[in-house]
C-alpha cells in the first residue's frame, strides 16, 4: 500500500516537472502570428536581474520590464509588470488591489504550477499558461507612453519586442484584462497627503 502511494506521489511530481500543458516560446510566437501581432525576438545569455538584462538588451528601443509574481495570505495571485526602473511599494499596492493581508512573492513551485515559468522568466506573456484564470495582471501606466515593450518570451535567455497596444490585445485575448496602475501616484498617496 505504501509503495503504491509512493509511486503515485512520484508520478505526480514527474508530471509537475514535465508539464506539457505549458507553452514554449515557439508556441507563444505562433499565438502572436494568429493574433496578427508583429514581433522581434532576440537570443542572449540567461538573465536573472534587471541589471543583467540591461547589459544584454539595454540598447533595444522601447520599454523594458521587470515582473513580479505576488500573492496575498488568501493565495490570491497577481503578475505585476512595470518599467524596469520603477519602484514598487508593496504596502500601497496591497491597498490598491484590495489584497488580503500583506503581499509577498509567490514561491517557485506556485510560479511553475500557475504560469509555467522559472524564476527570472516571469513575463506578462506567461498569462497564456494560466488556464484557470487565477492570476490578475497589473500593468504600469508608464508603458502606455511607449510604442514598444520588451519582455521575456517565457524563457530568460530571450527577449521579445512587441507594440504596447499588442500586449494589451494579447492579454485581452487570453481573458486577462490588465489593471493599469500609476505606481508613482500610489506611493505618493501612501506617503504624503498633499502630493
pTM: 0.83
List the domains of the chain with CATH numbers: 22-191 (3.90.960.10)
Residues 22-41: tens digit of each pLDDT: 999 999 999 999 999 999 99
Q: Which of 19, 22, 38, 5 is nearest to 148 (CA)?
A: 38
C-alpha cell read off for 102 = 500583506
Residue 18's pLDDT is: 37
Mean pLDDT by 10 residues, the chain (195 residues): 52 42 94 96 85 78 93 96 93 94 95 94 96 96 95 94 97 96 78 53
Give the 3-state DSSP-derived string for the chain, with helices as H, strands as E and coil as C: CHHHHHHHHHHHHHHHHCCCCCCCHHHHHHHHHHCCCCEEEEECCCCCCHHHHHHHHCCCCCEEEEEEEEECCCCCEEEEEEECCCCCCHHHHHHHHCCCCCCEECCHHHHHHHHCCCCCCCCHHHHHHCCCCCEEEEEEHHHHHCCEEEECCCCCCEEEEEEHHHHHHHHHHCCCCCEEECHHHHHHHHHCCCC
Amino acid at each position: 500500500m505504501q509503495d503504491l502511494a509512493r509511486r503515485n506521489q512520484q508520478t505526480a511530481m514527474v508530471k509537475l516537472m514535465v508539464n506539457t500543458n505549458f507553452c514554449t516560446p515557439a508556441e507563444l510566437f505562433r499565438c502572436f502570428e494568429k493574433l496578427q501581432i508583429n514581433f522581434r525576438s532576440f537570443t542572449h545569455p540567461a538573465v536573472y536581474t534587471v541589471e543583467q538584462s540591461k547589459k544584454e538588451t539595454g540598447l533595444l528601443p522601447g520599454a523594458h520590464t521587470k515582473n513580479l509574481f505576488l500573492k496575498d495570505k488568501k493565495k490570491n495571485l497577481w503578475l505585476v509588470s512595470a518599467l524596469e526602473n520603477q519602484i514598487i511599494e508593496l504596502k500601497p499596492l496591497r491597498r490598491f488591489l484590495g489584497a488580503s493581508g500583506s503581499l509577498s512573492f509567490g514561491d517557485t513551485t506556485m510560479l511553475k504550477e500557475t504560469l509555467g515559468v522559472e524564476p527570472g522568466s516571469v513575463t506578462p506573456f506567461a498569462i497564456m499558461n494560466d488556464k484557470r484564470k487565477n492570476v490578475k495582471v497589473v500593468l504600469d501606466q508608464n508603458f502606455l507612453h511607449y510604442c514598444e515593450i520588451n519582455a521575456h518570451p517565457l524563457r530568460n535567455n530571450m527577449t521579445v519586442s512587441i507594440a504596447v497596444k499588442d500586449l494589451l490585445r494579447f492579454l485581452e485575448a487570453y481573458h486577462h484584462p490588465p489593471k493599469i496602475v500609476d505606481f508613482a501616484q500610489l506611493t505618493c498617496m501612501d506617503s504624503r497627503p498633499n502630493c
